[in-house]
Structure 1
Amino acid sequence: MSGSFEYKPRFTDIRVKPPKPEEEAAAKDVLRLKPGEIPCEWADCSRPATAKAPKSREQINLFYNFCQAHAAQYNKAWNFYAGMSEGEVRAAQENEAMTGGRPTWDMKVSRNTREAAGSAANAAHAAAGSWQDSYGLFGRRVNESAPSGPVMSEAEARMGKLERQAIGELGLEPGATKADVKARYHELLKRFHPDLNAGDRATETKLQHVIKAYKTLKKAGYA
């Protein structure tokens, strides 16, 4: 190539200036919670919470505070009937169809009213065997059995869905103390560490689940 047509770059030294201290502070401030904002309750998330999700079927009026992305992820996996037997699911669906999920109350009257006197008379006749309530209109049917399925403990009912999953991931039962959770966490860290399992990917995945479960419990105040 002739010297008259030699390429000469216009810029021979391109340098990127480091950000100024005030620019770095502004960038960090974007991720900082503003006054009045609360953090997302999802493990490893520090974004502000903008959505609510019910904690569990037993705590339908108590909510998690999530950012929009984690609220969508939580709701996608939500199953209202999880953990219920087939009979319990059917009973819950029938109750929803009849009452719309709203609570109902017994209609009670004073003992001195005519209706109360009539009910007492009917009860006396029933005790004497003069009639039978074959269709269970005035009380629960004799042959009706209690719903089957596992009974949830009080400690388990107080926990939200995420905390129940996390406590199960650590192999503990609801009601475990903070000391129990920490001791179990450190035990599982040693057991599933890849260096102790010849780099087994299965134990590495389990280790990640254990760490996430512990962070979930710690964020909720159970560890």
Structure 2
Amino acid sequence: MKVISLVPSITETLFDLGLTSEEIVGRTKFCIHPKELVKDVEIIGGTKNLNIEKIKALKPDLIIANKEENVKEQVEELTKDFKVLLTNVETLEDNYYLIKQLGHLFGKEEKAQYFNIKTYEAFDIPKPENKLKVAYLIWKDPYMTVGGDTFISRIMEELGFENLFKDQKRYPEVQLEDLKEADLIFLSSEPFPFKEKHVAEIQAICVDQKIMIVDGEAFSWYGSHLAKCGEYYQNLLKEIN
């Protein structure tokens, strides 16, 4: 079966399940894991700006897309000519069923079960005794955070944190003054690549908050990626405590 993945975390999951670059024939430029394998796969644009003609030329048997990461109109155009699996992952339970579904689809049930167990173990760690309020920034100019209806917010909750902006939707813009109610401010490594200089800028306004740069992939990449983050989560919680 020839597959095109339009989602970075799903591309990684397919390779982790044991598919090869002969089966995965197309990926986006943001599909960067696993590095040594994705290099052999044709790039078909970005997640939001797909090269439809390039996709058609590859003649895939299946295209895997995601409700949030891909543009609805582009996905609908592809469904006219190809079988498209449209995924939607909002919770860890959704993630469990996504991996299980992919495992069944490609005859990789054992591998899928392995990654689901490892994901469970990654979150089966001691949580903070006091639930700290966290502001999680994903962008600068303007500053943007995550609302309570996002996958990132759900991962924060699974780790024992409370999203300061849990009552808001999607990815609202915020001012630095808005962050002063937080106990912690997380600066994500992606999509905006926050660095130490940004910590200093924000600390000048948010003087009482602990500010940390965190691995954005560990909070936003679903699929098999979460199964590899157990040690990172443990170290993060130790650093905070």
Could you say which TM-score interval applies, normalised by the shorter chain?
Answer: under 0.3
Name the structure, 1 or 2, with higher relative contact order (CA <8 Å, separation 6+): 2
The structure with more radius of gyration: 1
Bigger proportion of residues as strand: 2
Using the size of structure 2 for normalisation, the TM-score is: 0.23
Using the size of structure 1 for normalisation, the TM-score is: 0.24
